[in-house]
Amino acid sequence: MKTISVRLIMTFVLLNLAVLAFADPDKVWVTSEDATLQSERSTSSETVATLKRGTQLSVSTFENRWYKVIAPDGKTGWIFRGKVSAEPPADIASDSGSGGIGGLLGGLTGSSIEADAADSSRSIRGLSPEAQEYANQTGTPAESRAALDMVLSLTMDKSDIDLFLKEGKIGEYAY
């Protein structure tokens, strides 16, 4: 009888911990440069405020990939989940060495960009010294390096990215 009671209590505790682990956060932080707080769950709705990266927001609710939040100045609105994180963003200065694809595009530490985020502020910064050394050791052809350097030198502004996302119905433009 005692064993059943202990198992029942342990099961109850573990289930409660699982629920807490997957619960919506009550605070989120802006991870994109100049993210916008919208009046409705749509990018075409009125912009209530422009939020700086690192701004902490209080979450009221979460619906269909959008958070209803309260900004520090008391303004209320909706923000797309790809623009925020449950954790504060890393210091902007320490972000300069990171890159994707196992570090080949900027640092061997990986990327903090999420699939829902589409933000030009985390642009590719060229090959890291480690990646250049690897290319030298493996005999990567000069033509391949030149082609990669050319691609890495290309830039896009925010309006180009927004247009691409809108036309492709990607991220916050999916609905």
Beta pairing, strands 66-70 & 84-85? unpaired
Task: For residues 102 and 148, state if they share a domain.
Answer: yes
Task: For residues 60 and 108, state if they share a domain.
Answer: no
For residue 129, tell me if it sits in a domain.
Answer: yes
Closest CA to 88 of 25, 44, 7, 146: 25
pLDDT exceeds cutoff 80 at 166:
yes
pLDDT exceeds cutoff 50 at 18:
yes
> pLDDT tens for residues 90-139?
864 344 444 444 444 444 444 444 444 444 444 455 678 888 888 889 99
* Identity of the amino acid at 119: D
> pLDDT tens for residues 23-36?
557 999 999 987 99
Which residue, 51, 85, 119, sits at the end of a domain?
85
Task: For residues 78 and 114, state if they share a domain.
Answer: no
Task: For residues 60 and 103, state if they share a domain.
Answer: no
Closest CA to 55 of 69, 65, 41, 40: 69
Q: What is the CATH number of the domain that holds 62?
A: 2.30.30.40
More confident of the two residues 40 and 91: 40
Which residue, 44, 59, 85, sits at the end of a domain?
85
For residue 113, tell me if it sits in a domain.
Answer: yes
Residue ranges making up the domain that contains 80: 24-85
Query: What's 63's DSSP letter?
Result: E
**Number of independent structural domains in the chain:** 2
For residue 71, tell me if it sits in a domain.
Answer: yes
For residue 49, tell me if it sits in a domain.
Answer: yes
For residue 15, tell me if it sits in a domain.
Answer: no
For residue 121, tell me if it sits in a domain.
Answer: yes
